[in-house]
């Protein structure tokens, strides 16, 4: 059975409401993904997975349910315009039913758990950027206060980077191998290791390098430089490259690092497919 669900904030902003259907005719509403009546073998398609509901979606996975979320939310508006239907929770569910399955990403527990902890790091990174921007316009007498806040936020990023790396070592099978290949396997590269964890979580290195390059915004053709890409993953690549080079990297530096990750990923997967034992993969 396929279940399509629209996850949206309640009008009073007290949480999320989920509207779902199996046939596009009868719609029901729940407050938690765990209340969706999905069983082992069923497929649940959602527009988004809020971080706050990570554990609930993991519970669905543990029931044997397959969970998919929409890769590009912009497809909802495009499909709405194509179908000529007004915005509503029920209509948004119908829109999901009209989007091809290839535009949905199937998730697993490892991805959701990594995404959950990485979101905290990204939030701090955004806070630091916001403080840095604001510090440019404040009176001189308050600049030192902003500097202390910025330094504190950077320290907290380092604190959160540690459990992200620990989780990556448990959940991402190639994390240790790629870290060793890049030379960031020791504790002196905390930010680089955190950035690598982000990249291995969000970037599908099993695809062609052209696809990987596009996802990271590494466009060789100037005419395509404004194409859609993952800004967060590009920032992670920037941090990883900076950790390795010790300076603000150029796009060519970032592409070199991305290519090295891709090659390592491809090589190790080929070894696994060939059935080479781990101890012989050095």
Which residues make Cβ contacts (< 8 Å) with residue 169, sequence separation at least 6?
175, 176
Per-residue confidence (pLDDT) for residue 235, from 0 to 100: 95
Say how many C-beta atoms besides its own lie within 10 A of residue 169's C-beta: 14
Q: Which residues lie across from 7 on neighbouring strands? A: 18
Per-residue pLDDT tens over the stretch 32-78:
999 999 999 999 999 999 999 999 999 999 999 999 999 988 899 88
For the chain, the three-class secondary structure string (H helix, E strand, C coil) is CEEEEEEEECCCCCCEEEEEECCCCCEEEECCHHHCCCCCCCEEEECCCCHHHHHHHHHHHHCCCEEEEECCCHHHHHHHHHHCCCCCHHHHHHHHHCCCHHHEEEECHHHHHHHHHHHHHHHHHHHHHHHHHHHCCCCHHHHHHHHHHHHHHHHHHHHHHHHHHHHHHHHCCCHHHHHHHHCCCCHHHHHHHHHHHHHHHHCCCCCCHHHHHHHCCCCCCHHHCCCCCCHHHHHHHHHHHHHHHCCCCCHHHHHHHHHHHHHHHHHHHHHHHCCCCHHHCC
- β-pair type (43-46, 66-70): parallel
Q: What percent of the chain shows pLDDT beyond 90?
A: 75
pLDDT in tens, 77-133: 888 888 888 888 899 999 999 999 999 999 999 999 999 999 999 999 999 999 999
User: Stretch 239-257: mean pLDDT, rounded?
Assistant: 93
Alpha carbons 139 and 28: distance in angstroms, whole number: 54
């Amino acid at each position: 059975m396929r279940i399509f669900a629209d996850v949206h904030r309640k009008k009073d902003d007290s949480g999320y409401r989920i509207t779902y259907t199996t046939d596009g005719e009868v719609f029901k509403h729940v407050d938690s993904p765990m209340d969706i009546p999905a069983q082992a073998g069923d497929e649940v398609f959602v527009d988004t997975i809020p971080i706050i509901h990570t554990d609930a979606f993991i519970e669905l996975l543990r029931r044997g349910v397959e969970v998919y979320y929409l890769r590009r939310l912009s497809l909802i508006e495009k499909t709405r315009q194509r179908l000529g239907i007004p915005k509503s929770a029920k209509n948004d569910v119908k829109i999901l039913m009209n989007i091809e399955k290839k535009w949905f990403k199937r998730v697993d527990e490892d991805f959701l758990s990594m995404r959950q902890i990485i979101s905290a790091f990204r939030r701090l990174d955004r806070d630091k950027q916001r403080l840095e921007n604001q510090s440019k316009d404040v009176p001189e007498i308050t600049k030192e206060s902003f500097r202390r806040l910025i330094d504190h936020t950077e320290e907290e990023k380092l604190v959160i980077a540690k459990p992200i790396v620990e989780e990556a070592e448990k959940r991402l099978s190639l994390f240790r191998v790629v870290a060793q290949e890049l030379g960031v396997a020791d504790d002196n590269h905390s930010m680089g290791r955190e950035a690598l964890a982000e990249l291995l979580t969000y970037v599908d290195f099993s695809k062609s390098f052209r696809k990987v390059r596009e996802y990271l915004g590494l466009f060789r053709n100037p005419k395509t430089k404004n194409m859609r890409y993952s800004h967060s993953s590009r920032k992670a690549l920037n941090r990883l490259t900076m950790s390795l080079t010790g300076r603000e990297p150029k796009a060519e530096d970032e592409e070199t690092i991305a290519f090295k990750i891709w090659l390592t990923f491809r090589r190790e997967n080929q070894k696994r497919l060939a059935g080479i034992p781990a101890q012989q993969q050095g």
